[in-house]
Amino acid sequence: MILDTINKANDIKNVPIEDLPRLASEIREFLIDHISRTGGHLASNLGTVELTMAMHLSFDLPEDKLVWDVGHQAYTHKLLTGRKEEFDTLRQFGGMSGFPKRRESDCDCFDTGHSSTSISAGLGYVKARDLAGGTNYVVSIIGDGALTGGLAMEALNNAAENKSNFIIVLNDNNMSISPNVGAISSLLTGIRGDNAYRDINDNVKSSLKKIPVYGDKIVSQVQKAKSGIKQLFLPGMKFEDMGLTYLGPVDGHDIGKLCKMFKIAKKMNTSVIVHVITEKGRGYEPARLRPERFHGVSPFDVTTGKPIAASKTTYTEVFSRKICEMASRDNKIVAITASMASGTGLTRFQKRFPLRFFDVGIAEEHAVTFAAGLAAGGLKPYFAVYSSFLQRAFDEILHDVCIQQLPVVFMIDRAGIVGSDGETHQGIFDYSYMNIIPGMTVMAPKNRLELMDMMEFANSYDGPVAIRYPRGAVSDIFSDFKEEICYGRAEHIYDGEGTAILTIGASIEEGAQVYDKLKARGENPSLINARFENPVDTQLIAELAAKHDRLLTIEENIGAGGFGMNVLRAVNENGYDIKVINASLPDEYIPHGGVSKLKEAYGFTADAIIEKLDSSRGIL
Ligand SMILES: Cc1ncc(C[n+]2csc(CCOP(=O)(O)OP(=O)(O)O)c2C)c(N)n1
């Protein structure tokens, strides 16, 4: 195995050129074998094997900097930088992350997970290098999907003014997770099109001539090599017009051509885009044919491509069906996704109501202000979005939706600990950042039925509402309890005395376990499903204070600024005579791992919560 000879950065440079295609095949086999067992990002990684090899052949790590966008496609980079053995622990607690991590390797120069950051970060590296008089190369690798993000556009706008070498590799596979959308995608499709493949022409010459000293020489060499670098050509003029140098498109599976292109790019004294065409899922037919399904996968059978574990009904699925049912009755309902139609369950809506469905690209900030405009125009927009990705749209939620009290519904999926994607993807901040925006109503269902009831409630409510629900299988806990939803009112599950357990959303599970354990040791606590994080049910808290000596709040979110804080404030401000104990996740970034392992490690289990309760009572 050639892969056995690669144990640290730059080892690939010792592999004979004729063996590189075999190494690419071995890497693909390795990735398919390992990801089929651990789960992870497959299709994108299969598409970047040769591109990564070519970059490792063309640059010197760790001195040169490779800044990956999103970072989900950096598995080959990890393999080529001495982390082969760690693949068995991919995305597991204490194991190797699925994204670049500076703490993991000096070859990972920037932590990522969210989209469209690489050009900004890369440009920062460029300026830091230039100010220090350094000579290393900086390469940002961004996908065509990530290029639709506003941050990437802001960065390009800035990078166009740069007068030193900065290489931006545009990894174009014509796909975001789903097929890419919008004008950027059309622009790239145009460039990729038939008439794009021409021989060298004047425009390329002008690009090449920008290379100091060597430019003219390269032009004449390229002209001599008739079929040499055939794909250097004109169509990147749109980028050139912006002030960026454009090279490409180049076949992203041809290592020789890629290396030649990088050789040229290294000579430019500008920001240069190297446009690379790759195929998602290359080398594994199920992933090549259905790249969307193989974007992020749980363990699967390599022969059939089918997942090993049987799928269960998820909250996403419940949302997916319910929104269609509601939209069939109410033609004001429209749905928005920021490039996550399948992940958020909106594919069904897209098929049934194509004119009322909007995929805006990886553009959460735009999605929110767009939703505000739709609402101001008389519609009822539902923006379905993962908790961690909505973080970027904080100002738009405040400035465009809430100040104007526009009736936008935020369906916040993947809230709480999501597990194996780690720090960047845990949905543990939304109770805090949504909570502090005046005029925002924040709800969370205890089970699947309540999610549907909350959606009906949100539809009838004339103002901004957020409903947050977790990743994974639905719960049917306490499905016999279905009091009608009243604005700002909680739901009593069990009435008792002494300790009142007040849970929000999915943490009813931990609350019920705490309840059972306290009961088992002879106590008679109350259990309440808060339903509303904001506004908090002050009337209920007053009633509880009369009969209980302790209020235990439970929320799957960091402690700062969330539900527990609201309860504590209500108690303080009204002078209620009751002690409040807040159980939450710690105010920390939670790494990757299985959800239950993480809950254990970060003290979010019934036992850990009872321990906290007991220590507040002086019971050790
Ligand atoms: C802010 C943000 N929104 C959504 C996502 C989810 N996401 C991860 S990868 C991806 C698609 C990226 O497409 P592209 O950049 O073309 O990379 P490819 O996977 O096609 O190689 C999306 C939408 C994210 N990581 N960050």
- Ligand 1 neighbours, Cβ below 6 Å, are 44, 70, 72-73, 114-115, 143-146, 171, 173, 175-177, 280, 338-340, 362, 364, 389, 392
The CATH number given to whatever domain includes residue 124 is 3.40.50.970
Q: What is the pLDDT of residue 183?
A: 86
Whole-number Å distance, alpha carbon 223 to ligand 1 midpoint, is: 38
Instruction: Choose, from 260, 380, 392, 531, the residue flagged as catalytic.
Output: 392
pLDDT digits 0-9 by tens, 179-216: 888 888 888 888 876 444 444 445 556 666 677 666 66
Whole-number Å distance, alpha carbon 7 to ligand 1 midpoint, is: 29
Distance of CA 442 to the CA centre of its chain: 22
Domain that holds residue 539: 491-616
Active site residue 448: no
Same domain, 570 and 528: yes
Domain annotation covers residue 480: no
Ligand 1 atom nearest residue 145's Cα = 16
Identify which of 45, 112, 362 to mutate to test ligand 1's pocket (most ligand atoms within 8 A of the CB).
Answer: 362
Q: What is the pLDDT of residue 207?
A: 66
Same domain, 42 and 163: yes
Domain annotation covers residue 595: yes
Same domain, 344 and 293: no
Whole-number Å distance, alpha carbon 436 to ligand 1 midpoint, is: 28
Which residue has the CA at smallest separation from atom 21 of ligand 1?
44
Same domain, 85 and 193: yes
Contacts of 129 (CB under 8 A, 6+ apart): 135, 136, 138, 164
Final residue belonging to a domain, choices 265, 297, 329: 297
Terminus-to-terminus CA distance in the chain, angstroms?
58
Active site residue 103: no
The number of distinct structural domains making up the chain is 3
Ligand 1 atom nearest residue 69's Cα = 15
Same domain, 447 and 575: no
Domain annotation covers residue 305: no
Instruction: Choose, from 292, 364, 509, 533, the residue flagged as catalytic.
Output: 364
Q: What is the pLDDT of residue 2?
A: 97
User: How far is the C-alpha of 277 from the C-alpha of 268, rounded, in Å?
Assistant: 21
Domain annotation covers residue 274: yes
Same domain, 452 and 347: yes
Whole-number Å distance, alpha carbon 449 to ligand 1 midpoint, is: 31
Alpha-carbon separation of residue 177 from 129, 389, 480 (angstroms): 34, 15, 39
Q: What is the pLDDT of residue 48?
A: 98
Q: What is the pLDDT of residue 463?
A: 98
Residue labelled with tokens 């390795």: 30
Final residue belonging to a domain, choices 297, 327, 354: 297
Same domain, 56 and 184: yes
Ligand 1 atom nearest residue 142's Cα = 15
Which residue has the CA at smallest separation from atom 19 of ligand 1?
44
* The token pair that represents 98 in the structure block: 């699925």
Ligand 1 atom nearest residue 171's Cα = 21
Distance of CA 12 to the CA centre of its chain: 31
Domain annotation covers residue 263: yes
Average pLDDT by consecutive 10-residue portion of the chain (620 residues)? 97 98 98 98 98 98 98 98 98 98 98 98 98 98 96 97 97 91 86 52 61 66 46 65 92 97 96 97 97 95 95 96 98 98 98 98 98 98 98 98 98 98 98 98 98 98 98 96 95 97 98 98 98 97 96 98 97 96 98 98 98 89
Q: What is the pLDDT of residue 618?
A: 86
User: How far is the C-alpha of 79 from the C-alpha of 74, rounded, in Å?
Assistant: 9
Q: Which helix (H) or strand (E) holds 604?
A: none
Domain annotation covers residue 608: yes
The CATH number given to whatever domain includes residue 580 is 3.40.50.920
Whole-number Å distance, alpha carbon 369 to ligand 1 midpoint, is: 20
Q: Is 585 left (phi over 0), alpha (psi -120 to 50) or beta?
A: beta
Whole-number Å distance, alpha carbon 537 to ligand 1 midpoint, is: 39
Domain annotation covers residue 459: yes
Final residue belonging to a domain, choices 470, 503, 533: 470
Same domain, 203 and 325: no
Q: What is the pLDDT of residue 294?
A: 95
Same domain, 536 and 612: yes
Same domain, 275 and 343: no
Same domain, 320 and 292: no
Active site residue 364: yes
Identify which of 339, 359, 365, 414 to mutate to test ligand 1's pocket (most ligand atoms within 8 A of the CB).
Answer: 339
Same domain, 236 and 118: yes
Q: What is the pLDDT of residue 196?
A: 46
Distance of CA 205 to the CA centre of its chain: 40
Domain annotation covers residue 243: yes
